[in-house]
Structure 1
């Protein structure tokens, strides 16, 4: 119980203390006119209340990420607490804040254009293609999962549900942001938070009454608890599995949408840094629930080896058991509605990215349609792939994107004449994580399955080499 409560308090404290420091260090200034006011076109640039922008941003970046990722990450054991809390405060929330604020400072530009401005045309062209592919795969992943669940629940055809969800995606992508997203997303965002609060409340109650023995961080916490540790290496694989809730590059693709809706710069800390902290809290709640609901981490691993006992099943079991009929409703919202809302904003971000690259006016619906139709055609073809294959692509690519954005933020600080360590050190760490994954992870998971000693050594050398190269290049800026 102490570990769980201290983790929650740590995240909240991180928002008020480190979040304020990051905001001050960045130099948020309400005297600057934001793109929402400067470029208001009633479609993508629309000033909205801060509470609404926050809940939309939270739902955009969260969906099922901090639930499913946290449950899968809990299989590695209590080490997940350390990554979620410290990763969220010092990496994920900083990454999200800089993504959003740099977009505000660049007229609501998409992340590839921001990367290009500070890192050069080579990184820009790579990011244009890479982020576009990631967005399409995110959209597809969050169409396939809900469609499969809906076809099971209704005993209907999978393709029928795919058509229905894709039709909704197209409508949500084309309409002005305040017509569908601005109206229903705050409700779903609130539902996700209420669901997490209910689970947290139930855990605290059961813990205080002795009905639940919540595991604490101890001397054996940092061993790998996974039932198959040889193929699921704690470092770096846990840092890839738990992305939403700690650090996720996908968030940088969503931030520009809300950067076009914020009224003043000081709201950025609440919307960008705050939404990530909220996601971290959700991740801590679900990681704790998963680690303790079945009796411990070992029992969680045993249970999830049974066919059909996946993360969605765990959510359903915990929600129904602890929250009753109300929990069942929120579980359905969680595993069906929330991923759909993440998927449609992924396609909307893809449209905006293409429009930014080609400098296409998006004020008319026909112009938005010409950009959107090819995206959905590609997405529908990819939706025929197995869900697991799509999901494996997302894991590493998500964190590679985060690495690039962290280095971009560091370069922005360096070019502004400020110390870059706030972003360059997390950038170095995540460079080591991603390279380690590529070198030592099993071939089935996208790695080369090299000897761990050699893999770690090479990753450390390359990560520190990237920092050395960055410092060398930034020193040249001063001369």
Structure 2
């Protein structure tokens, strides 16, 4: 537990100090914000700080900071230190500069920001990543709430061969299809803040349970190979877990949103149009990412505690089944049942918060991705329509474009459910595209500092940008659906990409601001 508390101290204290530093570097002032300069009562609307901060938190937090840490904690207690450090100097910096630059530049959205600071060629690459990310986000946000509902609410098997699983997926799928064309999300949007509060309640509740009941959480100085699970073997890829290991990049791709998320920049750009003052940016952008880091740490530590407790005592057991490492839960008759990473959510909620509290927490975890998945699919449809100038002025045209998009989503969903390791792969490619998207935003932020004569601070977005170029590059160069290169070659290739990334930023940053 001591390691968790050290990590929490890094998150809170580091976030306060580094957030203040970021604010001084950017230099928010009292100039008129887009919310007033372009006020239209629709998108450009001045809103109070507390509302902007809450909306931003709701937009960036869903199952991302929950399911990623649940899988990432298998690398051991080092995760409880890596998550807060990465969040403070990476994810929160990404969110802050993206949101503030979009605010300073008149409320522009991320595609325009990337185009302005990195150029048209890079913009087209970015546009592809946006489409891929939104496609994978939509699939993940059918799979995860559907799986949790099937296994943890109704007690179904959740297996690919169980028709009830597909009925639940089908309900969510049909809702998404309708919501992609019609503005049905406005109905759910009225109660969205309630579920955001439930998400925070679940994290705070699990945190309280860990303290009160002294949950068994390993420290970095303890032995990482325990009788419950060999975290050390997983970390180094030894013994029967030889297929794992490679902390960089696998851990950072797996944990994803709790450390860094490119999707966040698309959401902070929306809030850039509602800030009453630039001075609100630190609370709205930087601090809300710190809150998401807290949520990620809690779910990571809670999952480790369940593994250490063991299935026989209401926790989880990790073991290989058919060559795949799986979570197992003990049923009332004493038998062991394999469950997915998404089902771990229900086990932890009920263990920490009891039947009632667990049910409330589960409701929030289920609804939040559903209310994000529909907007992701709508955003994907609009992005494709804008890119290829496809008119969307009536329902027939919107349905015509939505249909092939949903066919792709359905295909990915079926593959991820039927394949024994499908969800793990789906999650990692969703997370990979998410991190790759963040690399573009960090590059734009670095170029912004250069052209604004603040080059002495360019390392702030540049360092995480270089690191995640290596992470994303090495992962996709090694991946089977990538170039399938050996790890050594993948690492060398990713380092070369990072060098090119750095050179391109400094070359672009030499141009005067008025020529961008």
The TM tier, using the shorter chain, reads: 0.7 to 0.9
Match of 1:164 in 2: 175
Contact 1:225 1:297 in 2 (8 A): no
- CA offset at residue 324 of structure 1? 0.7
Alpha-carbon distance between aligned partners in 2 of 1:344 and 1:76, rounded to the nearest angstrom: 33
Alpha-carbon distance between aligned partners in 2 of 1:205 and 1:163, rounded to the nearest angstrom: 43
Match of 1:344 among 350, 353, 374: 374
Alpha-carbon distance between aligned partners in 1 of 2:269 and 2:387, rounded to the nearest angstrom: 14
Match of 2:199 among 192, 200, 209: 192
Alpha-carbon distance between aligned partners in 2 of 1:460 and 1:360, rounded to the nearest angstrom: 39
Contact 1:140 1:382 in 2 (8 A): no
- CA offset at residue 476 of structure 1? 6.7
Match of 1:422 among 438, 454, 460: 460
Alignment of 1:54-93 (within 5 A): 54-93=53-92
Match of 1:110 in 2: 109
- CA offset at residue 32 of structure 1? 2.8
Alignment of 1:26-425 (within 5 A): 26-34=26-34, 36-147=35-146, 149-150=148-149, 155=164, 157-158=167-168, 159-168=170-179, 170-172=181-183, 175=186, 181=189, 183-207=190-214, 212-218=215-221, 223=232, 225=234, 228-295=241-308, 301-302=318-319, 304-306=326-328, 308-347=338-377, 349-350=379-380, 353=383, 367=393, 373=399, 376-385=402-411, 386=414, 387=416, 388=423, 390-419=426-455, 420-425=458-463
**Alignment coverage as a number of residue pairs:** 463
Contact 1:55 1:185 in 2 (8 A): no
Contact 2:199 2:364 in 1 (8 A): yes
Closer, same or farther: CA 162–465 of 1 in aligned 2, 3 Å: closer
- CA offset at residue 390 of structure 1? 4.8
SS state of the match for residue 304, structure 1? strand
Alpha-carbon distance between aligned partners in 1 of 2:409 and 2:445, rounded to the nearest angstrom: 34
Closer, same or farther: CA 473–162 of 1 in aligned 2, 3 Å: closer
Deviations 1:249-271 (A, max 9, x none): 11112222222222211111111
Q: Is 1:14–2:27 an aligned residue pair?
A: no
RMSD (Å) for aligned C-alpha atoms: 3.2
Deviations 1:393-445 (A, max 9, x none): 3121111111111111101111111121111111111111111112334x1xx
Alpha-carbon distance between aligned partners in 2 of 1:332 and 1:144, rounded to the nearest angstrom: 15
Q: Is 1:467–2:467 an aligned residue pair?
A: no
Alpha-carbon distance between aligned partners in 1 of 2:360 and 2:510, rounded to the nearest angstrom: 53
Alpha-carbon distance between aligned partners in 1 of 2:460 and 2:64, rounded to the nearest angstrom: 25
- CA offset at residue 171 of structure 1? 4.6
Deviations 1:340-369 (A, max 9, x none): 1221342454467568768999xxxx8596
Deviations 1:18-52 (A, max 9, x none): 11110121111232323x22333333333322222
Match of 2:23 in 1: 23
Match of 2:161 in 1: none
Match of 2:332 in 1: none
SS state of the match for residue 75, structure 2? coil
Contact 1:110 1:356 in 2 (8 A): no
Alpha-carbon distance between aligned partners in 2 of 1:143 and 1:49, rounded to the nearest angstrom: 33
Alpha-carbon distance between aligned partners in 1 of 2:490 and 2:19, rounded to the nearest angstrom: 35
- CA offset at residue 449 of structure 1? 4.2
- CA offset at residue 147 of structure 1? 4.0
Gaps of 5+ in 1: none
Closer, same or farther: CA 430–168 of 1 in aligned 2, 3 Å: same
SS state of the match for residue 295, structure 1? helix
Contact 1:252 1:405 in 2 (8 A): yes
- CA offset at residue 109 of structure 1? 2.0
SS state of the match for residue 275, structure 2? coil
Match of 2:492 in 1: 457
Closer, same or farther: CA 131–318 of 1 in aligned 2, 3 Å: same
